[in-house]
Amino acid sequence: MSSVTSFEDRSQLRRTSSPTKSVRVPSPSVYPTANVESVMGSGDRRATDRRIMTADRAVRTSIQESDAPAAGADVASSRMSYSRFLEYLDMGRVKKVDLYEGGTIAIVEAVSPELGNRVQRVRVQLPGTSQELLARFRQQNVDFAAHSASEDGGSVALNLLGNLAFPLLLVGGLFLLSRRNGGQGGPGGPGGMGGPGNPMAFGKSKAKFQMEPNTGVTFDDVAGVDEAKADFEEVVEFLKRPERFTAVGAKIPKGVLLVGPPGTGKTLLAKAIAGEAGVPFFSISGSEFVEMFVGVGASRVRDLFKKAKENAPCIIFVDEIDAVGRSRGAGVGGGNDEREQTLNQLLTEMDGFEGNTGIIVVAATNRADVLDPALLRPGRFDRQVSVDVPDSKGRLEILKVHAKNKRVNPEISLAEIAKRVPGFSGADLANLMNEAAILCGRRNKDSITALEIDDSIDRIVAGMEGTKLTDGKVKSLVAYHEVGHAICGTLTPGHDPVQKVTVVPRGQAKGLTWFTPGEDPTLVSKQQIFARIVGALGGRAAEVVVFGEDEVTTGASGDLQQVSNMAKQMVTNYGMSEIGPWSLQDEGAQSQDMIMRMMSRNNTSEKLLEQIDDAVKKVSDEAYATALKQISDNREAMDKVVEILCEKETMSGDEFRAILAEYTVIPEENLEAARATVTIN
């Protein structure tokens, strides 16, 4: 409202200060332009326009400096009509005329009676400069002159030089920077225009090139992935002895895609290929193709394959190819972008009209589900090699590789360690042995013992060891909670055997109960899932039975999340409920890609959703009732175990089962699973 009010106030001021007598403003006349090259020469139009604009500014300045309020509309304008100009010329008021544009534009200095006979400068559009008009100028003793563009030649050069000064300084600075960062150089040298230190070389490939790769890794250093290693040994054999395959009409594979979880050895396999093949090797990450500038990624792909063709036969290794190979049209809006252009160029280079004979592309990813289908077809990636988490035999082979350069106590069995860590990847096993070596050095020991291995496993899985509990009440509560997990897990058929129970804090947990999972975690029965739900609810059940409903704590929050997740998967994913063998979850909702999860629609009816909720609740309630009964029936055994645990702080699975067996009967199948579990002593 204030801005509106101020606007109205200003308009009132204008009305009160405006002259009461209006003056008619004649419109400028339009005439055909005459040719006056005899009077003045034609020149550059831009230079003339600058001089006219300068004169116009001078006219406006003279008008603004005037303090005559009754100047009228003629004074408020920097222009004068041709007829008015002739009137001023006849009355002898015109003092000076400057002609521009071949005599079609005139800047006139004339005496204005409205300004108190002061001299004003106005612009006049002329029909052309005729000999008659020039004669009238001479009769009235008017000072007139014609101006050409050549008079501004010096100023034009200065202006041009001034406009180019900053770009020249910028280019010079970038050149000096490239020479400084790149060292010596000529074109194509380390610091030249094609070198990596040049900031202008955006479209050049950033791939690391080795003519004779010396990675220090061979196939002997790769263990636990025998199937994948066999496929790559075949590729290496093809590169070394192609005649064995071409003789029977076989063609060299164009691409091999390594797929598997993180840490399973995909990049290690690529290093082994580089060390074994003996051919030029290019290595690059998928993220190095992506740039903020449009077209840079595609240019880098072209440059990479150009270099590869010059050094064929060779191998190109692209790590984390999902950074550039995602499905096209999956972005927001589905439009084209820089990443899709890069992918299109990659598809063309791998299998286009030209072809790339002698070039093998090896790529690695742990997100094969998001890759574009055109990238996965035969002719681009002919083979997809799965590099999964190793089994017990594979873990043993990996442990042997990483134990070569470490002092391991002869009493330790690597086979026992391999059986104890199911689900560990190659990177996890390497980290395990390294952490054990660090602990050995910290404790000033000569060799790695079972204690270092045990502590390293706990550290990797649960985190660093925290400060031990000193409060007796808190320690007792944590002990009952963990023993509740152990009792319910041991007495429920199908549950994994207890490995260790401890009240020593690690990470965010005040206490931990360790269970040893089976060898194959991918095939799990309904009985096993239900047993795990009962075991997870054992901690909360122990708190309720021992301390009462009002004394339960937040310690079971993580357990309850696991229970809800497992119960819901039983109903919606695995069809293990009274609803029936249905998959009740959309495929897009299960995708690892966030965009796919966002775009997925839930087509489940409200009635079916209610049935799902009821089924999930029924599973949880049944498991919780089982846990409460097991804790209540074995209260005496629980008190005994808690007493010993508070004293020792850590109890092995065998010790726990020996005490529990004195008070109750443990299911035979759980005992057999426990006997198959090897404990490191």
Helix (H) or strand (E) holding 621: helix 606-633
Distance from C-alpha of 486 to C-alpha of 538, rounded to nearest angstrom? 8
Q: Is 48:98 a contact under the CB 8 Å cutoff?
A: no
Query: Residue 681's Cα: distance from chain center in Å?
Result: 46
Sign for the CA dihedral angle at 239, 245, 246, 249 comes to negative
* The pairing of beta strand 281-285 with beta strand 118-125: unpaired
Active site residue 212: no
- Continuous segment of H or E residues that includes residue 112: strand 105-112
Can you list the alpha helix ranges (DSSP code H) found in 18-130?
45-64, 72-76, 82-90
Distance CA 13, CA 7 (A): 10
Distances (CA, A) of 586 to 373, 460, 600, 602, 611: 21, 34, 7, 7, 17
| Best CA proximity match to 488, nearest among 453, 431, 548, 534 | 534
Q: Any residues with CB less than 8 A from the CB of 82 and at least 6 apart, and which?
A: 28, 29, 31, 124, 125, 126, 127
What sections of 183-265 are H helices per DSSP?
Answer: 226-240, 243-246
Q: Are 221 and 401 in contact (CB under 8 A)?
A: yes
Two tokens, residue 325: 């190979």
Selected catalytic residue, list 338, 340, 349, 482: 482
Cα distance between residue 362 and residue 404, in whole Å: 29
For residues 679 and 509, the answer to whether their CB atoms sit within 8 Å is: no
Any idea which residue has 């963990």 for tokens? 482
| Triad 541, 544, 547: Cα angle to 5° | 135
**Which SS3 state, helix, strand or coil, does residue 285 take?**
strand
> Do the beta carbons of residue 126 and residue 84 sit within 8 Å?
no
Q: Which residues are catalytic?
A: 482
